[in-house]
Amino acid sequence: MERSVQTDIEAVNQPELETEDKDELVFKKFLDNSCIVDDLEYVSIRELVYQYKTWSKINGLFNYKDFEQYITGKFVVKKMFNKMFNCDMRCVVGINLKRSFYIFDFKEPVSDFENFLMNKCIKLPTAKLNRSTLKDSYEKWCNDNNKRVPKKTDIDLLCKFLDKHFFKDYFYEGTSSYHGWYGITIKENVLRGTGITSTLCKRVAICKVHKDDQKTILQEWDSQKEASRDLGVKASTLKYRLDNKSIFNDVYMLVRKSFII
């Protein structure tokens, strides 16, 4: 598994170049090293910019704000469905990040560290993970899988293992700072800090039924988002009706299809 970073940025060391030209060469270098260019590909701007931020930190560059402007000027940008976040996002069409930023590619036989990462963690450009969360999750995983309780030396070795594959840096939250890694997090924390409320947009089939006959489906939608759009209500309102089994128009209810089957 590779970190997929480039540390030899020749353009930065060419003083005869104008800043704009230098930036474009750097941006192209990142795209060549980190991306797939194909008409059928697309990636959210959020993920692309986050990965560029990590790449630029590694290379001592600080022009990521110009990078987003460069990308939106070079590629078509439109809202597309993002499978990872389960919601529509602004995406760049015709380009995607390499699979290595999303997939663990460990060789057999896998170690306990590798097994833990594949089962409990997720690789994602927008993700970050601190040592404390890593330690707690690994200890729980060991307990759930009847492994011996990890010692401090085991946690230290796990952290060193992550150092080999992910970029380590200081994170700042309010007045606190701590060490952590970019590009990886615990699966259940994937949305933490993103501001994305995709739980309101999950692809869970929704059904309209009569309040006195909740087994007969009158209308069906593939997702909460689709149902909220067709019914002309906010996603939060639709979720409230589902959770509280609210009756509307005096006779109808909305239920999740899984509750009927």
| Equal CATH topology for 10-101 and 112-189 | yes
pLDDT tens string 122-176? 999 988 899 999 999 999 999 999 999 999 999 999 999 999 889 888 877 667 7
Residues in CB range of 16: below 8 A, 6 or more apart: none
Q: pLDDT at position 193, please?
A: 54
Q: pLDDT at position 173, please?
A: 67
pTM of full prediction above 0.95: no
Q: What share of the chain in percent tops pLDDT 70? A: 84
Quick check: 192 pLDDT over 60? yes
47 vs 54: CA distance, rounded Å? 11
Judge whether 28 and 11 are in contact, CB under 8 Å: no
Each domain of the chain, given as residue ranges in start order, spans 10-101, 112-189, 198-260
- Of 3.40.980.10, 1.10.260.30, 1.10.10.10, 3.10.50.40, which CATH number belongs to 112-189? 1.10.10.10
Quick check: 16 pLDDT over 70? no
Say if domain 10-101 classifies as CATH 1.10.10.10. Answer: yes
Q: 8-17, 50-59, 138-147 — which is least confidently predicted?
A: 8-17
Judge whether 26 and 61 are in contact, CB under 8 Å: yes
Q: What is the CATH number of domain 198-260?
A: 1.10.10
Rounded-to-5 percentages of helix, strand, coil across the chain: 45, 30, 30
